[in-house]
């Protein structure tokens, strides 16, 4: 791919990011059996397809009990695939265009008011998300984005309800954090409230490469992928959230870009290794809409060393 026109300073930034990326090796041997990582939900690899069928049956039963018409009895939306830089309905072949929202129903007060990575989409919160989905359906929403999820709990009811409402889900793999002192997530009672994250090192760190890519992050990525790739209405996975705003060690926001790209490569490689057991779900990322926009797009769209897995699919 030919590089886009850049200023002299931008060329320097890009070269630094490229060199730093090449210094980050694959963190895990992807030749191992697909989905061999231990899931907190303890779903063994040989049962993946059985697990997927169980979810389908749950949706079919839900559809039947709610008197859904026969041709919707399966209750699952057709998977969406990527071709080039666009999404397409795998059944009709028509382009799929997202009309959606980022879903995070943060309360206005209470202990969770200042927490930024709580999993509101878990089945245990059905009383909260169910009426929200009904409103979104009436508004014509077809996609929602989840910033972070807890792969140790069930999302069967939520994903099934989304599918019945005609809604696809973009799943965030990382878990944002401010402090990492404990494995629980809560709002501090200090004067200046802050969040303590339940998931240590579960996002790209605002550090120099390769330290910005902790080993725990890839382990979490595998767990989240295993938990959500079984759902047909999982639209895609996001490996990062506005990492170009991380400026602690570089005012230009490019310091951690090599780690984000390395994590993207590892997750795409892992998804490919799992393709015999579960659907290979598109992998991409969310970046802040700030200059230099085209340079960000070019960086994450270009393959490194002819490795297609180093490119974002969306």
101 lies in some domain: yes
Tokens describing residue 159: 């994903």
197 lies in some domain: no
269 lies in some domain: yes
Note the pLDDT tens digit of each residue in 289-314: 888 888 888 999 999 989 999 999 99
Residue 15 pLDDT more than 70?
A: no
Q: Calculate the CA dihedral of residues 231, 235, 237, 240 and round it to 10 degrees.
A: -150
Note the pLDDT tens digit of each residue in 117-162: 889 999 999 999 999 999 999 999 999 999 989 999 999 999 999 9
Residue 232 pLDDT more than 90?
A: yes
> Domain span at residue 254?
8-25+54-110+119-174+205-310
Q: H-type helices in 170-289, by residue range?
A: 215-228, 257-273
CA distance 205 to 9: 24
302 lies in some domain: yes
267 lies in some domain: yes
Cα separations in angstroms, 9 against 54, 209, 230: 54, 20, 44
Total domains in the chain come to 1
152 lies in some domain: yes
Average pLDDT over residues 98-107: 93
Average pLDDT over residues 187-192: 36
Which CATH number belongs to the domain containing residue 169 in this structure? Answer: 3.20.20.80
180 lies in some domain: no
Confidence label for 195 from pLDDT (cuts 50, 70 and 90): very low
Q: What is the largest CA-CA distance in the chain?
A: 64
Residue 173 CB partners (closer than 8 Å, separation 6+): 220, 221, 224, 225, 237, 238, 239, 267
This prediction has a pTM of: 0.76
Check residue 66 and give its pLDDT.
Answer: 37
Q: H-type helices in the chain, by residue range?
A: 8-22, 48-65, 126-139, 156-164, 215-228, 257-273, 293-301
195 lies in some domain: no
Look at 154 and 49; give whichever has higher pLDDT. 154
- What mean pLDDT is reported for the chain? 77
- Between 73-77, 106-110, 222-226, 277-281, the lowest mean confidence (pLDDT) is in 73-77
Look at 2 and 268; give whichever has higher pLDDT. 268
Cβ contact 162:169 at 8 Å: yes
DSSP character at residue 304: B
Residue 277 pLDDT more than 70?
A: yes
């Amino acid at each position: 791919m030919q590089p886009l026109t850049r200023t002299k300073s931008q060329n320097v930034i890009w070269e630094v990011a490229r060199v730093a990326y090449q210094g980050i090796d694959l963190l895990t041997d992807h030749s191992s059996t697909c989905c061999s990582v231990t899931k907190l939900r303890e779903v063994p690899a040989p049962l993946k397809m059985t697990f997927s069928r169980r979810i389908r049956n749950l949706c079919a039963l839900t559809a039947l009990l709610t008197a859904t018409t026969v041709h919707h009895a399966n209750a699952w939306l057709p998977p969406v695939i990527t071709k080039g830089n666009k999404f397409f309905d795998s059944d009709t072949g028509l382009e799929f265009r997202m009309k959606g929202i980022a879903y995070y129903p943060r309360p206005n007060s209470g202990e969770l008011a200042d927490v930024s990575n709580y999993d509101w989409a878990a089945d245990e919160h059905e009383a909260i998300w169910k009426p929200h989905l009904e409103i979104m359906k009436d508004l014509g929403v077809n996609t929602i984005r989840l910033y972070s999820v807890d792969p140790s709990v069930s999302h069967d009811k939520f994903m099934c309800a989304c599918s019945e409402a005609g809604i696809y889900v973009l799943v965030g793999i990382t878990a944002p954090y401010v402090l990492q002192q404990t494995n629980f997530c809560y709002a501090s009672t200090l004067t200046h409230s802050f969040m303590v994250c339940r998931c240590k090192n579960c996002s790209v760190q605002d550090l120099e490469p390769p330290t910005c890519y902790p080993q725990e992050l890839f382990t979490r990525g595998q767990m989240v992928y295993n938990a959500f790739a079984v759902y047909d209405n999982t639209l895609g996975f996001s490996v990062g959230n506005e990492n170009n705003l991380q400026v602690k060690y570089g005012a230009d926001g490019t310091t951690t870009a090599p780690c984000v790209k390395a994590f993207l490569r590892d997750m795409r490689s892992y998804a490919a290794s799992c393709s015999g057991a579960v659907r290979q779900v598109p992998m991409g990322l969310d970046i802040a809409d700030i200059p230099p926009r085209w340079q960000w797009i070019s960086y994450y769209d270009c393959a490194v060393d002819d490795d297609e897995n180093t490119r974002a699919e969306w």
